Amino acid sequence: MPELPEVETIRRDLHDVLSGRMLGPVEVSGTRSVRRHGDSGEVPARSDGRRVLGVERQGKFLLIRLQGPDVLVVHLGMSGQLLLGAPGAARPPHTHVTFGVSGGAELRFVDPRTFGQIFVTTAGSGGDVPELAHLGFDALRPGRGGTRLAAALAGRRAPVKAVLMDQRRVAGIGNLYADEILFGAGVRPDRPAGSLAPNEVRRTARAMVETLRQAITCRGSSLADQQYRDVYGAVGGYQQHHRVYGRQGQPCTRCRTPVVRSRGGGRSTFFCPTCQR
């Protein structure tokens, strides 16, 4: 699933391409992708002919601000892609929604597994999106000295990795970056979240920001299936810098102890049993 670095990479590219341009025509060929609306024609009706003011991100959600109070919200789900193409050019398989873009471009929402979604909503008076009010603080902003992160972890018995991945507490982190962040912090992923000492919370907050920023600089991670692509169809590069994720049995980059893989809750977790305590 695309996580914060991948979504932020897409956001930056889309902001440069879409800002100030008009959308339309808009076509919906996969109704599951717009399932929040009872009428699949609502997305075209509320976005066709509208000017884009800018593109923002909230956790793993993309917010395309339209002229007026409406916001076009995109969540990529497990396999979603937003790809730019030329009008009239062949569309990739599993293209479910397309947006014409003034100036001669077309934005395609491609989603083989159809867990992603697109919807249009009306922002509140402060620009907030009501449907995203449940999200926790953005993972790039854990608070000075990790104060927001400390509040999210305090008193919780759940594993620290699970709390980092809980979008209601920390928005933007998934399985891959949780492993990389906790390695950077030297914290075992199965530690009870509330057991972290203040210095460990600060290390985790620092590792969170450093890891995510480096991944954004590398334009995200593309794994073996290369499912993640940026808007131009290019793969990311951060997978070349993974320190534990996907490296079962390989030597730790710090101490040379073999990286361990454990399974739980339908997910794999990778960590160093020596460096992470």
- Residues known to be catalytic: 2-3, 60, 267
Measure the CA–CA gap between 129 and 124, rounded to whole angstroms. Answer: 6
Task: Indicate the pairing of strand 137-138 with strand 170-171.
Answer: parallel
Q: What are phi and psi of 214, to 5 degrees?
A: -65, -40
Q: What are phi and psi of 193, to 5 degrees?
A: -55, -40
Q: Are 221 and 228 in contact (CB under 8 A)?
A: yes
Length of the chain: 277
DSSP 8-state assignment for residue 251: B
Q: Which residues, listed in sequence order, are joined to residue 107 by a DSSP beta bridge?
A: 84, 99
Amino acid 94 reads H
> In the structure encoding, which two tokens stand for residue 9, read together?
């990479």
SS3 label, residue 166: coil
Return the H-helix or E-strand segment holding 200. helix 198-217
